[in-house]
Amino acid sequence: MGYMGPGLPGQRSALVAEDRAFVEAQWKLPPGTLRDVGGNGAIAMFEAMEEGRIKACWIICTNPVATVANRGHVIRALEKADYVVVQDAFADSETTGFADSLLPAALWAEADGVQVNSDRTMTLAQKAVAPPGEALADWELIARVACAMGFEQGFSFTSAAEVFAELSRFTNPKTGYDCAGVSYERLRQGPVQWPAPVGDTQARHPVRYVPAGQVLPVFPTPDGRAIFYARPWMRPQEWPDEQFPFVLNSGRLQHQWHTLTKTGRVASLNRLNPGPFVEVSVQDAQLLGLQADDRVRVTSRRGHIVLPVQISQRVGAGQCFAPFHWNDRFGPDMAVNAVTSDDVDPLSLQPGFKLCAVKLERVAPDVVPLPAPRQEEGSAPMPLDTLMRHFSLDDPALQPDLPEQARIWLKGFLEGLRMVPPQPGLVPDVPASAPLPVEARSYVNGLLAGLFSRVGEACAQPLPPDVLAVRQSIRVWWASQTGRAEALAATVAVWLREAGYMVELACLDHCKDADLGQGKAIFVVSTFGDGDPPDCATPFWDTLRARKEALTGLSCAVLALGDSSYASFCGFGCALDGRLRELGACMIMDRVDCEPDFEDTVEVWRGQLLAVLDSTTPPVAPPAGGEAAPATTLPEPRVGTRDAPVIARLALNERLCQGAASKDTRRIGLDLGKSSLDWKPGDALGIWPCNAVEVVKTTLAALGLPADTPVTLKGAGTVGLHDALLRHFDLARPNPAMLHALGRTEGGYLPELLQAARLDVAAQDVPALFRRMQPRLYSTASSPLVSGRVVELTVGVNNDPWPGVCTNWLAGLPAGADVPVFVQPTTHFHLPADGRTDVIMIGLGTGIAPFRGFLQEREALGATGRNWLFFGERHAQEGFYYQEELARFAHTGCLTRLDTAFSRDQPKRIYVQDRMEEAGAELWNWLQAGAFLYICGDAARMARDVDAALRRIVARHGAMPASQADDYVAGLTRGGRYLRDIY
C-alpha cells in the first residue's frame, strides 16, 4: 500500500525511469529488469489469490488474518493458495495456522539491526541474546532462501552490517536522503540523524530543506515550493443507513500493539488493557438498553463480532469504537476486521478501517445460577448463615456499605468456609489480600471471632499483654513461579506463628504501595528468567522501582531462592534487597541466597531470624506455677516419609510409546508389599534415585580417591565415597564449589566437566563439592482399588539437555529392583467426596497420570458423576497413552467425554486449550452444574495457557467481563473446585 507498492531504496519509485535505472545499476541488473508498475495493494493481492491468479505468498513479520480489513478475503485466499510461507517470531499468530512452511524469525533483541525513528535518527540495536533454536534474523532468512533459488549474486550477505552498507549507497540528491556517511562502525559510537553524507561527523541534523545562507525552505519539488493538494470530500461507498445506523471506528489502545503476538504476553500490559470491548456513548447505551459489560453483537454488511460494552463520554452518539488487538487466539467472534470495510482509497490503496456501518444488538446472557448449598433436614443453621444475612448476601433488606467486588469476594469466602468449616478452636480470619476496605476487614474479622471463638475447648492461651503489644504483626510476602517459594513462605509463617507473632501471608501481587509503609516484613522470593521477578511480582516490582517516597518505617529481611547454575543467581532477590535499602528500609538481617537444596541454609536462617526478632521482644511469661515449659524434642521421622522412605520392588517397566518413537514414556509399577504405605489417587510418589554407575566411575576418577574412602554426611553418618556418589550426591549439575575447583565460571553437565579433570581434594572436602541428591515426585497413575499394592506412575524419560537422573535410572532397572519411595500426600488434588459430582480433567503428556487413577477410582466406587477428559500430546501414534483403557472407560460409561489434541498431527497446531474453547459452552454448563476442574501438566506453558482459556470461556459463555471472570475462577479455587497439579 502507499509508498511500499512502487517503492525502491533511497526514496525512489519504480514508476520513474531514472530511479529504475539507478537501482538496476546498483544491483547489477540488466536494463529493463525492473518493471514500471507499482503494486495494487494488499486488498487486491488477496483478492487475486482468492481467485487463483496468485498461487503463493511469503508473509513476513505481519498477521494479515487479523489486521486486513474484511479479513474473510484473506482467510479464503490463504486456503486457496498452493503454497504459503509465514515468517514470524511467534508460532501461534492467527496467520501461522495457514502456513505450509513456517520460518522462525529472531526478535529485535536477538539480532543486529538499525532502527530508524520518525525524526530520522538511526540507532544500532545490537544483539543482546542469542535467538532460540533455529531462529534467524529476517534478512538472513530472506538471503538464504534467495541463494538457494540461485540469486547468490544479490543476496550473499554474511551480516546485517553488509545489508546496511548496501543501503548507504542509495543516496538521493533529489529528496535529500543520504546515509552514505553512516556505517555500523560509526553507529556503535552512538545514534546518527540522516542526512549524513560522506565525511559527515555530526550526530544531529535537525534542520532540513533549508540550504546554507537561506531563510526560506527549498523542498524537493520542481520549483522548490511545497505542494498542497486540495481534494473535495466525497461520500464513501460505506455509509450508515437504516439497517446499519452506527459508525464503527477501530484502532489501537495505548498499552497494546497490533495483534498481541508480543505485548499480549506481558502480564503488566494485560492488566492495563485486559480484554476486548466496544465503546458506545451514554445516549446510545440508554437507547439500546445497555449496561456496562453487557455483551453486544456488532454486525456489518460483512459479518459480526460479539464484545462486552463500555459506556463512555469519549464517543459521540451514533458512533462506537473497538480496538482490533484481540482476535482468534483469544476466542471466536472478536476479530474486529471480520466486519470492517475493504473499500480502498484509489491513491494510497489503504482500506477504510475507520468507517464501518454497523448495527448494535444486546446479546442476552445465558447464565445458569449456581445450585444453592444443601442443608440437611433437622440441622441447625450454621453461624455463617447469620453472617450471610448480615451482609445482605441472601437478604436484600440489609445493605452494608461494601463495593460490589468486595461483596462478591466475601460471598465466595463465606461459601468456602461453609464447604470446609474450621476445626474447633480455630478462628478464621480475612487475609490481607482480600479486596475489602481496612475497616470492613477488621469488622468482618470481629464478627468471625464472635461466631467461632466459642466453638470447642481447644483455644490457645492468649499471650501476655506486654508481649502482644510488641508482637503485633509481621507480613510475609512471597513471589513464586513454580510454587517452592510460596510453600517456603507458608512454612516461615508457621514458624513465626509458633513463636507468638501475628502473621499475614500473601503474594506480592496483592502488595499495595501503602502496605510497605510501616512495620516488619519478610520477603521470600524466587527468580524467574534472566534475574527477573516471577510473573506475580512484576507489578509490585514496577511500583517499587518507581517509588519516590522513603521506606524508613519498614523493617524487613529477604530470603531469596535460586540456582547458582544460572547466571543471574537469586537475581530478583538481590535486586529487591538493593532497592529496599535504597529507599531507606531497615534490613534486620542480611539477605540469604538459597540453592535448590535449601533446607540446611533455611534452617540456619530461621534461627538467626527468630533471634533478631526476639532481641526486641520481652520473654513470654512462664505458665502458672512458675515452672518453665518442658523442652520439646523432635520426633523420629515417620516411616514412609521423605526422610524415612520404604523399599518398593519394581513390578512394571513398560514402554508406552509405539515403535521407533522420538520419546520414551514408561508405565512404571512399584510394589509396596507389606509396608505401611498407602496412597490415594492424586497423591504423589517420591523416589530417591541413584546415579548411573558410569557417572560414578567418572567422578571417582576425577576425585582421585579410593572408592571406600569414608566421608561424613549430615543425616547419613559416615559412608563410603562410592556409596555417597551413588546415592547421596547430585552428579548432574555442579555447585559453585565444584566450579571453583574446576577453575570454571560456567555450569553444564557435571559428568562432561569431570571427564578430563583431576582434582586435588581431601576426603573431608568432598561433601562441599556436590549438591545433595533430591527426591523426584511423580503423580500416581492408578487407584489402589484396582492395582492393589502396586502403585503405578507415568514417567517420561528425559535426555534434554542432559540425561535425567531419576527417569533414566528407573527405565534401566530390572524387574524386582529395590526403589526407595515415600508418599507425598496432596491436601487438595483429590476427587470430590460426593461421587455424584461431575469432574473435568485436563492433562498434557504424562499429566494424564492422576486422571487414569481418578477414572479407576470412580469406576471402582460406582460414582455416578460424569467424567470429562481433555488429553494432549504431539502425535497420536506415539503419544496416545492408555488408549485402550480410555476406550474401555468410554464404553462402560465411566468416561462421559474424551477430547484429544495431538498438536503435530495436522498442519495447524491444536492444543488442549483449543479443544476447551471449542467445547466452551458445554464446559461452562458443567461448571455451572458444580463440576470440579483439574489440571495436570507443566507450569511454564500448558498450565498458563489452559488457565487463560478457562477465563476466556467463563467470560464468553458466562456473559461477564474479564475482571468478573477472574473473580469467578477465584471463587472456584476458594471453593476447592479448581485444582492444579503442575510441575
DSSP per position, 493-560? HHHHHHTT--EEEEEGGG--GGGGSSEEEEEEEE-BTTTBPPGGGHHHHHHHHH--S--TTEEEEEEE
Mean pLDDT computed over every residue of the chain: 85
Q: Is the dihedral of CA 398, 399, 401, 403 positive or negative?
A: positive
Distance CA 916, CA 913 (A): 5
Query: How does residue 437 score in pLDDT terms, banded at 50, 70 and 90?
Result: low
pLDDT at 660 over 70: no
Cβ partners under 8 Å of residue 516, min gap 6? 544, 551, 554
Look at residue 881 and tell me whether its pLDDT is greater than 70: yes
The predicted structure's pLDDT at residue 564 = 73
- In this predicted structure, the answer to whether residue 76 has a pLDDT above a threshold of 50 is yes
Q: In this structure, what is the dihedral angle of CA atoms 839, 845, 849, 854, given to the nearest 10 degrees?
A: 10
Angle between helices 883-892 and 849-861 (to 10 degrees): 30
The partner residues of 279 in beta bridges, in order of sequence, read 310, 321
Residues 561-572 have a mean pLDDT of 80
3-state secondary structure of 318: coil
pLDDT at 512 exceeding the cut of 80? no
Write out pLDDT tens, residues 418-429.
655 665 556 677
Q: Which residue has the cell 496468485?
A: 54
Say yes or no to pLDDT of 557 above 90: yes
Which of 518 and 104 is assigned the larger pLDDT? 104
Give the 3-state secondary structure of residue 224: coil
Could you read off the pLDDT of 125-161 as tens digits, one per residue? Answer: 988 888 888 899 999 999 999 999 999 888 999 899 9
Q: What's the distance, CA 255 to chain centroid?
A: 18
**Mean pLDDT, rounded, for 271-299:** 90
Nearest to 176 by CA among 202, 211, 226: 211
d(CA 563, CA 560): 10
CA distance 282 to 311: 6
Handedness of CA 263, 268, 271, 273 (dihedral sign): negative
pLDDT at 386 over 50: no
Q: How far is CA 931 from CA 149, 363, 841, 865, 901, in A?
A: 57, 26, 10, 9, 22
Q: CB-based contacts of 515: which residues, under 8 Å, 6+ apart?
A: 432, 475
Choice between 799 and 661, residue whose per-residue pLDDT is larger = 799
Cα separation, 959 vs 965, whole angstroms: 9
Please list, in sequence order, all residues whose beta carbon lies within 8 angstroms of the beta carbon of residue 185, skipping any fewer than 6 positions away: none
**Tell me, what's the pLDDT at 460?**
42
pLDDT over 50 (residue 117): yes
In 3D, which of 622, 651, 624, 751 has the Cα closest to residue 691?
Answer: 751
350: left (phi over 0), alpha (psi -120 to 50) or beta: beta
Record the cell numbers describing residue 916, joined without a space. Answer: 476447551
Pick the most confident of 264-273, 301-310, 446-455.
301-310
- Average pLDDT of the residues in 655-683: 88
- Rounded Cα distance between 353 and 815, Å, is 68
Per-residue pLDDT at 418: 62
Mean pLDDT lowest among 465-474, 526-535, 844-853: 465-474
User: What mean pLDDT comes out for the span 2-20?
Assistant: 84
pLDDT of 312 reads 87
Query: What's the mean pLDDT in 471-485?
Result: 78
Q: Please report where in the chains the cell 476442574 appears, as a residue.
A: 933
Does 627 score more than 60 pLDDT?
no
CA distance 738 to 297: 64
Distance CA 450, CA 420 (A): 19
**In b/e form, how buried is each residue of 24-33, taking b as 16+ CB within 10 angstroms?**
beeeeeeeee
Are the C-beta atoms of residues 161 and 126 closer than 8 Å to each other? no
Contact assessment for residue 208 and residue 195, using Cβ atoms and an 8 Å cutoff: yes
Secondary structure element (H or E) that encloses residue 573, with its range: helix 571-582
Reported confidence tier of residue 25, pLDDT bands at 50, 70, 90: very high
Please tell me the least confidently modeled range out of 4-13, 171-180, 858-867: 4-13
- Is the pLDDT reported for residue 798 higher than 50? yes
Q: Hey, what's the cell of 20?
A: 529504475
Is 163's pLDDT higher than 70?
A: yes
SS3 state of residue 474: strand
Where helices occur in 801-919 by DSSP H, the ranges are: 805-811, 849-861, 876-879, 883-892, 912-918
- Residue 543 pLDDT exceeds 90: no
Query: For the stretch 436-453, what's the b/e string if a residue is b when 16 or more beta carbons lie within 10 angstroms of its beta carbon?
Result: beeebbeebeebbeebbe
Q: For residue 459, is pLDDT > 70?
A: no
Mean pLDDT over 866-895 rounds to: 94
Percent of the chain past pLDDT 90, that is, above it, reads 54
Cell numbers standing for residue 141: 532468512
More confident residue, 348 or 538: 348
Q: Say what percent of the chain tops pLDDT 70.
A: 85
- Where would I find the H helices in 58-180? 64-67, 72-80, 138-148, 152-155, 160-167
Tell me how far apart the alpha carbons of residues 554 and 533 are, in angstroms, rounded to a whole number: 21
Would you state the torsion angle of the CA atoms of residues 917, 923, 925, 931, taken in this order, to the nearest 10 degrees?
-150
Measured CA to CA, the distance from residue 475 to residue 522 in angstroms comes to: 6
Reported as a single tens digit per residue, the pLDDT across 574-619 is 999 999 999 999 999 999 999 877 888 898 999 999 888 877 554 4
In this prediction, residue 463 carries a pLDDT of 45
The mean per-residue pLDDT over the stretch 733-738 comes to 88
Q: Taking 70 as the threshold, does the pLDDT of residue 360 lie above it?
A: yes
Answer yes or no: is pLDDT of 661 > 90: no
DSSP code per residue over 284-301: HHHHHT--TT-EEEEE-S
CA 428 to chain centre: 32
- Phi first, then psi: give them for residue 950, nearest 5 degrees: -60, -45
What backbone torsions phi and psi does residue 843 show, to the nearest 5 degrees? Answer: -135, 145
619: Cβ–Cβ under 8 A, 6 or more apart, which residues?
none
**pLDDT above 80 (res 856):** yes
Q: Identify any residues that bridge with 869 across adjacent strands, giving them in sequence order.
A: 841, 898
Q: Is the pLDDT of residue 414 over 80?
A: no
* β-sheet bridge partners, residue 934: 841, 979
